[in-house]
């Protein structure tokens, strides 16, 4: 779907609301308070025109945007939907400045849209864990990088846990990236527990933290030392993943955003894990935004 077709499909607030209602209540309205299925629709006359559904049983009023990333937003729904398309369709990522220019809105407004879309990506990523054969490593991000691979332990850049799952043919399936405060045993074990399935098989470079974490998380740990001639081949895909992530951050965001780096990682991972979706990706991202929790302004 082209941007013109997308804008035509979601041209008005009513168009956007119709989509939201179908996504949130595919079998008809359900009151979030009492579960009743009958409601009156209150057509609001404010500048955004978001309808309210008033439960006929308990009288609770519910907006179609309540509990979504659009909740209490001062930005119109069509503008939201158009921004989501632009963010989704460019595999290199779209900076807030580009969004502001393409949509004709203020930079701060574009930044806020982009920020919350990234948060929706992060929430959706958090639903999944890697399983099977997984290449695990740590990398270091900070400033503009030059060349592939990781920086050494001991750098003052941000330590980052990286994982890529492989299919039975050794091809990459899914990945994760997470900036962590340190690479201590406790931190590594805790974060890997959120990213990998139990009983998975890990390929690591022999760092003791991974061996101990594997034992705690009941995973099989296969060690290939970084000095081994086969190391580059064994860790090929995780190194490619790290290199592409650095190129993504350097190219689109010019290596900045240290405090928001995990959101940039979330965007990269979201795109990588859905790299074969093609033209379906904008609607998939739109659904992720509908399912995402509202986030306070600027967070």
Q: What is the pLDDT of residues 175-195, one digit of tens each?
A: 999 999 999 999 999 999 999
Whether 12 and 120 map to the same domain: the answer is yes
Asked whether the beta carbons of 176 and 268 are under 8 A apart, the reply is no
Residue 149 pLDDT > 60? no
pLDDT of res. 255:
62
Q: How far apart are CA 249 and CA 88, in angstroms?
A: 16
Q: Is residue 78 part of a domain?
A: yes
CA dihedral in degrees (5, 294, 118, 114; nearest 10)?
60
Mean pLDDT estimate for the chain: 89
Q: Are 87 and 120 in contact, with CB atoms under 8 Å apart?
A: no
Which of 126, 152, 184 terminates a domain? The answer is 126
pLDDT at 259 over 90: no
Rounded (10°) CA dihedral 81, 78, 76, 95:
40
98 & 173 share domain? no
Q: Are 34 and 53 in contact (CB under 8 A)?
A: no
Q: Kindly indicate the confidence band of residue 234, based on its pLDDT and cuts at 50, 70 and 90.
A: confident
- Based on the fold, state whether residues 117 and 137 are members of the same structural domain: no
Q: What percent of the chain has pLDDT over 70?
A: 90
The residue among 44 and 79 whose pLDDT is bigger is: 79
pLDDT value at position 46?
A: 62
Counted domains in the chain: 2
pLDDT of residue 233: 80
Q: In angstroms, rounded to a whole number, what is the distance separating the alpha carbons of residues 238 and 138?
A: 10
Question: What is the rounded CA–CA span in Å between residue 4 and residue 169?
Answer: 40
- Whether the pLDDT of residue 216 is over 80: the answer is yes
140 shares a domain with 121 = no
Domain termination residue (choose one: 126, 154, 178): 126
Domain assignment present for residue 298? The answer is: no
With 50 as the cut, is the pLDDT of residue 98 above it? yes
**Residue 150, pLDDT score:** 43
Between CA 137 and CA 162 the distance in angstroms is: 5
Looking at per-residue pLDDT, the higher value among 206 and 282 belongs to 282
Looking at the fold, whether 164 and 118 belong to one and the same domain comes out as no
Greatest mean pLDDT range, 10-24, 45-59, 151-165: 10-24
How confident is the model at residue 253, as a pLDDT?
A: 77
Does 53 have pLDDT greater than 60? yes
Query: The domain spanning residue 223 has which CATH number?
Result: 3.30.420.10
The pLDDT value given to residue 225: 77
Average pLDDT over residues 101-119: 95
pLDDT of 16 higher than 50: yes
Contact 208, 189 (CB under 8 A): no
Higher pLDDT, 74 or 60: 60
Domain termination site, one of 108, 126, 144: 126
**Does residue 278 fall inside a structural domain?**
no
Contact call for residues 127 and 145 (beta carbons, < 8 A): no
Domain of residue 220, residue span:
133-273
pTM: 0.89
The 3-state DSSP class for residue 33 equals: coil
Query: Rounded to 10 degrees, what is the CA torsion of 186, 189, 195, 198?
Result: -150
The reply to whether 145 and 243 lie within a common domain is: yes
Sheet holding 158-166, edge to edge: 172-179, 158-166, 133-141, 201-204, 220-223
**pLDDT at 147 > cutoff 50:** no
Which residues on neighbouring strands pair with residue 201, listed in sequence order?
133, 220
Q: Does 47 reside within a domain?
A: yes
What's the mean pLDDT in 151-175?
A: 85
Query: Are 175 and 193 spatial neighbours (Cβ–Cβ below 8 Å)?
Result: no
């Amino acid at each position: 779907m082209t941007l013109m077709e997308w804008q035509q499909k979601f041209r008005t607030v009513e168009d956007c609301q119709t989509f939201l209602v179908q996504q949130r209540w595919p079998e008809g309205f359900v009151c979030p308070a009492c579960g009743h299925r009958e409601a009156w629709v209150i057509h609001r006359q404010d500048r955004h025109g978001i309808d309210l559904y008033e439960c006929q049983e308990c009288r609770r009023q519910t907006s179609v945007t309540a509990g979504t990333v659009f909740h209490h937003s001062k930005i119109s729904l069509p503008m939201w939907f158009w921004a989501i398309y632009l963010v989704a369709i460019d595999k290199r990522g779209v900076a807030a400045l580009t969004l502001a220019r393409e949509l004709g809105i203020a930079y701060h407004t574009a930044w806020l849209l982009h920020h919350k879309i990234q948060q929706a990506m992060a929430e959706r990523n958090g639903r999944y864990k890697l399983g099977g054969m997984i290449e695990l490593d740590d990398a270091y991000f900070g400033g503009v990088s030059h060349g592939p691979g990781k920086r050494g332990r001991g750098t003052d850049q941000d330590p980052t846990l990286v994982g890529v799952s492989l299919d039975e043919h050794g091809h990459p399936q899914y990945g994760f990236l997470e900036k962590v405060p340190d690479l201590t045993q406790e931190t590594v074990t805790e974060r890997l527990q959120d990213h990998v399935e139990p009983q998975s098989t890990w390929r690591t470079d022999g760092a003791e933290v991974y061996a101990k974490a594997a034992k705690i998380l009941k995973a099989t740990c296969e060690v290939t030392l970084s000095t081994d001639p086969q190391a580059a081949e064994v860790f090929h895909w995780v190194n490619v993943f790290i290199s592409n992530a650095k190129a993504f951050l350097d190219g689109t965001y010019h290596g900045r955003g240290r405090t928001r780096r995990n959101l940039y990682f979330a965007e990269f991972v979201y795109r990588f894990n859905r790299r074969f979706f093609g033209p379906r990706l904008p609607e998939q991202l739109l659904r992720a935004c509908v399912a995402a929790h509202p986030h306070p302004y600027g967070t």
